[in-house]
């Protein structure tokens, strides 16, 4: 079993909806705690309404009481109060009771809408990220967390190292939007092991919810007992095939896992 704590996407392409689809495809029973409601479609976010903190905590408590997850992921939490609820609950679970935690630090949507209140960023940095087994920032989020620009593949490495230095745990910096790159490059770093994960760009497809799906696939792999590097590679394979198998919904594309694409594995040295 796996638990996602995230926002609901009324368009069905991201958030809780994407996470539960991913868990199901990978053979993991998915549970959920909804941190906020969004009114959105593939083009824009119209409104965001956070869940009351007490209700969010009760959802998490209900899952852990009878359906204890073997891995947890967080997505859009939006408010400082809800970030604190999640950090306090998971932080209290120590030792053998602590489950792997994947933190997708959702800050801004693809369309540019802010998905994290300004006051919540401090709680994210100080309370939640230090608990993470793995953080999965995209380029924009990695630039904020590492306080540096990312323009070249080598910048992915330095950002990953800085994020681990600041927050501990491990990080997967997702470079799918890196300009002047012929492949979708991501860097995994856990303080010792460094992996370059690459896959060909899928041209002509503009998708929504890739970050949610990627981190959910990693969470599912951890729930199935994979070690962290293997789980990250599983996630990369999954998101690559999901993008490649995208199908049209009206004027847009929806992710659809289909087939498997190889991922090259690399250790140390230079990305260049």
Q: Catalytic residue at 75? A: no
Q: Is the dihedral angle over the CA atoms 145, 148, 149, 152 positive or is it negative?
A: negative
Are 258 and 241 a contacting pair, CB within 8 Å?
Answer: yes
Are 228 and 170 a contacting pair, CB within 8 Å?
Answer: yes
Q: Catalytic residue at 36? A: no
Q: Catalytic residue at 207? A: yes
Token pair in block for residue 179: 């300009």
Q: Catalytic residue at 133? A: no
Are 182 and 211 a contacting pair, CB within 8 Å?
Answer: no
**Burial readout 124-163 (b: 16 or more C-beta within 10 A, e: otherwise):** bbebbbebbbbbbbbbebbbbbbeeebebbebbbebbbbb
Catalytic-role residue among 22, 110, 207, 240: 207
Catalytic-role residue among 4, 22, 210, 213: 210
Token pair in block for residue 126: 């100080």
- d(Cα 261, Cα 259) in Å, to the nearest integer? 7
Catalytic-role residue among 22, 38, 73, 212: 212
Q: Catalytic residue at 209? A: yes
* CA distance to 45, 103, 157, 185, 203, per residue, from 190 (Å): 34, 14, 11, 17, 31
Catalytic-role residue among 12, 13, 209, 235: 209
| Beta pairing class for 71-74 and 2-9 | parallel
Are 224 and 218 a contacting pair, CB within 8 Å?
Answer: no
Catalytic-role residue among 21, 36, 136, 174: 174
Q: Catalytic residue at 210? A: yes
* CA distance to 101, 105, 196, 212, 234, per residue, from 263 (Å): 24, 24, 9, 19, 9
**What's the half-sphere exposure (Cβ side, CA atoms, 13 Å) at 244?**
15
Which active-site residues does the annotation give? Answer: 174, 207, 209-212
């Amino acid at each position: 079993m796996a638990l996602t704590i995230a926002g609901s996407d009324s368009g069905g392409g991201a958030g809780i909806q994407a996470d539960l689809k991913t868990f199901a495809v990978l053979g993991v029973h998915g549970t959920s705690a909804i941190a906020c409601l969004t009114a959105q479609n593939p083009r824009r976010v119209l409104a965001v309404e956070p869940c009351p903190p007490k209700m969010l905590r009760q959802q998490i408590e209900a899952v852990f009481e009878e359906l204890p997850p073997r891995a947890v992921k967080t997505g859009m939490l939006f408010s400082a109060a809800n970030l604190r609820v999640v950090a306090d609950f998971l932080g209290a679970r120590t030792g053998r009771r602590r489950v792997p935690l994947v933190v997708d630090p959702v800050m801004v949507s693809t369309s540019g809408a802010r998905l994290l209140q300004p006051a919540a960023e401090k709680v994210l940095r100080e309370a939640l990220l230090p608990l993470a087994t793995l953080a999965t920032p995209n380029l924009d989020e990695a630039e904020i967390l590492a306080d540096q620009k990312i323009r070249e593949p080598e910048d992915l490495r330095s950002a990953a190292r800085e994020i681990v230095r600041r927050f501990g745990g491990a990080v997967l910096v997702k470079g799918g939007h890196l300009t002047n790159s012929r492949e979708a490059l991501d860097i995994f770093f856990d303080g010792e092991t460094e992996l370059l994960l690459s896959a060909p760009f899928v041209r002509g497809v503009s998708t929504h919810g890739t970050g949610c799906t990627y981190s959910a696939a990693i969470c599912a792999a951890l729930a199935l007992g994979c070690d962290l590097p293997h789980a990250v590679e599983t996630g990369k394979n999954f998101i690559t095939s999901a993008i490649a198998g995208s199908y049209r919904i009206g004027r847009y594309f929806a992710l659809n896992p289909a087939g498997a694409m190889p991922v090259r594995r690399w250790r140390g040295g230079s990305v260049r």
